[in-house]
Structure 1
Amino acid sequence: MTFTRILAVPALALVSVLVGCNDSQKAAQADLLTQNETLTKQLEDKNNSLQDIGEQLARAQQQASDLQSQLEACKQTAAAPSTDVAASGVTANDFQGIEGVEATVQGDDIHLTIANSLLFDSGRTSLKDSARKSLDKVSSAIKNKFSDREIIVVGYTDADPIRKSSYPTNYHLGFERAFAVRGYLDRKGVVGAHMGLMSFGPDRPEASKEKSRRVEVIVTSKTANSDAA
């Protein structure tokens, strides 16, 4: 009987040790789970932070791209002649929409560039019938809004040498074409004494031969001499 009790004591001690080990393992596992949850939460926070930074970077890059586009647009606007309003308030609106006529404001002057294909046949200085409707609108706008202004009519040509035409040089051809336009405007009521004539011939070419052949009617900012009327 005594021997049996002695054996029972070590068995009870072993059970106590095992129970203690299980409790320690559970506590360690619980601690590990807590640490894992904490680390997972920290990782999620960092990922969210990185995502926010990425979105901010994308927005900043888009803003930089937009600003660059605006800068390029400003450069182009500054380099090109205005088609709307000059600093003095002069506009080309009265000449917009006329067939074959490009109206721009340069400084305080209005430049009306008229395509040669509308005005003349090749090598000729007689106005085509198709030019009259557009020139009628030009003369009407000048009389209504700019009757007191000095007008300069300028002829331009391409650089091809004169071969078949009766005009000795492109300067002569450009002058005669400007003279034809001036004469038509005069007959339509624009004061002839207010209009000057020039020819640059081939000296101021455009991007193509077709664009180089043109006549410009420049409505200047200068008031014409009233005695000349």
Structure 2
Amino acid sequence: MRNRRRLSSLVVSGICLLGLVGCNTVPREDYDAAVAESSQLRSDLAGARERLASANNRSQGLEQDLLMAQSELDRAIAAGTTGFEGIDGTTISSRGADVVVGVAGDVLFDSGKTSLKQSSKSTLDRIAGVLASQYAGRAIRVEGYTDSDPIRKSAWKTNERLSAERAMSVEAYLVTRGINNDSVYSAAFGSSHPRGSKAQSRRVEIVIIQ
């Protein structure tokens, strides 16, 4: 009798154990899906690492190209071969790998005005000629600057607005001289970037973007 009770107890325990194992068994299709997802994630991670390495290589290459362009521009400025040398009222400098042609505001405009002086057009004509012949296809930003004196006798209420109108006047004139309208745009900085004197601060800079 005792042996029968022990046998019955073992049978019941076995049934319970089988039931427990059955409850914890992952269906085959779920297991296969998890394995496939894990494999895909590993593949995606490997691909992301390859793309990151490639991007880093390209970035290093671009940095080297930029340094070379800066060095070449500095040599051209030192040698006087940018094409802008000898144009009255201009200065030539670099900003990174960009060529910056500065034109004195007093060469271009009367005090407080935004219409170009007639005498300034020969200067801009020569600049436009060099842009077309040596820098075709490059983007050009025309930047306007003023001194810090408050405006008292002008149609423009702020130096920022005055610098904007002057930059747009130069931009519009360059377009009439054959510069592609889609490649040139203007920007205004008012008195935010002063130079050594008020006369030097009043300027327009034509930036040829690398």
Secondary structure of the 1:96 match is: coil
- Cα deviation, residue 219, structure 1: 0.5
Report the residue type matching 2:105 in the other structure: N
1:125-174, CA deviations, whole angstroms, 9 ceiling, x for partnerless residues? 01001111110010000000111000000000011111110111100000
From 113, 120, 133, the counterpart of 1:144: 133
Report the residue type matching 2:71 in the other structure: A
Partner of 2:173: 184
Question: In the alignment, is the contact (CA less than 8 A) between 2:143 and 2:187 conserved in 1?
Answer: yes
Distance (Å, rounded) in 2 between the aligned partners of 1:100 and 1:215: 11
Q: CA RMSD in A?
A: 1.4
1:10-68, CA deviations, whole angstroms, 9 ceiling, x for partnerless residues? xxxxxxxxxxxxxxxxxxxxxxxxxxxxxxxxxxxxxxxxxxxxxxxxxxxxxxxxxxx
Partner of 1:97: 86
Question: Do residues 86 (structure 1) and 70 (structure 2) align?
Answer: yes
- Cα deviation, residue 88, structure 1: 4.1
From 135, 153, 167, the counterpart of 1:164: 153
Q: Given the superposition, is the C-alpha separation of residues 210 and 89 from structure 1 closer, same or farther in structure 2, using an over 3 Å criterion?
A: closer
Distance (Å, rounded) in 2 between the aligned partners of 1:105 and 1:201: 21
Larger Rg: 1
Q: Given the superposition, is the C-alpha separation of residues 89 and 217 from structure 1 closer, same or farther in structure 2, using an over 3 Å criterion?
A: closer
Question: Do residues 130 (structure 1) and 122 (structure 2) align?
Answer: no
Question: Do residues 120 (structure 1) and 104 (structure 2) align?
Answer: no
Question: Do residues 106 (structure 1) and 95 (structure 2) align?
Answer: yes
Question: In the alignment, is the contact (CA less than 8 A) between 1:112 and 1:217 conserved in 2?
Answer: yes
- Cα deviation, residue 86, structure 1: 3.4
Distance (Å, rounded) in 2 between the aligned partners of 1:189 and 1:112: 18
- Cα deviation, residue 89, structure 1: 4.8
Greater relative contact order (CA < 8 Å, ≥ 6 in sequence): 2
- Same amino acid, percent of matched pairs: 38
1:86-114, CA deviations, whole angstroms, 9 ceiling, x for partnerless residues? 32457352011100011122321100010
Query: Gaps spanning 5+ residues in structure 2: where?
Result: 1-68
Distance (Å, rounded) in 1 between the aligned partners of 2:92 and 2:73: 15
Secondary structure of the 1:86 match is: helix
Secondary structure of the 2:71 match is: coil
Distance (Å, rounded) in 1 between the aligned partners of 2:149 and 2:179: 33
Query: How many residues in Structure 1 have an aligned counterpart in Structure 2?
Result: 137
Distance (Å, rounded) in 2 between the aligned partners of 1:109 and 1:184: 21
Moved over 2 A (4+): 88-93
Residue pairs, 1:1-229, within 5 angstroms: 86-89=70-73, 91-92=76-77, 93-221=82-210
Distance (Å, rounded) in 2 between the aligned partners of 1:108 and 1:86: 4
Report the residue type matching 2:147 in the other structure: D
